[in-house]
Amino acid sequence: MEPGELSSGHSHNQRLAIFLNRTQVQQWTNYWQREPSGESETRELIPDQVTFRPAVAHISKDVGIVPIRNILIEFKPQIFYPDLPPAPPPQMRHKGQ
**Per-residue model confidence (pLDDT) at position 16:** 96
Number of residues that this document lists for the chain:
97
CA-CA-CA-CA dihedral for 14, 23, 40, 37, to nearest 10: -140
Residue type, 88: P
**Per-residue model confidence (pLDDT) at position 52:** 95
Provide DSSP, 22-88: -EEEEEESSGGGTTTT--EEEEEE-TT-EEEE--EEEEEEE-SSS---EEEEEPPPP---TTSPPPP
Q: How do the pLDDT tens digits run along the chain, 97 residues long?
A: 999 999 988 889 999 999 999 999 999 886 665 554 567 899 999 999 999 999 888 889 999 999 999 999 999 887 777 777 766 666 655 555 5
**Per-residue model confidence (pLDDT) at position 50:** 94
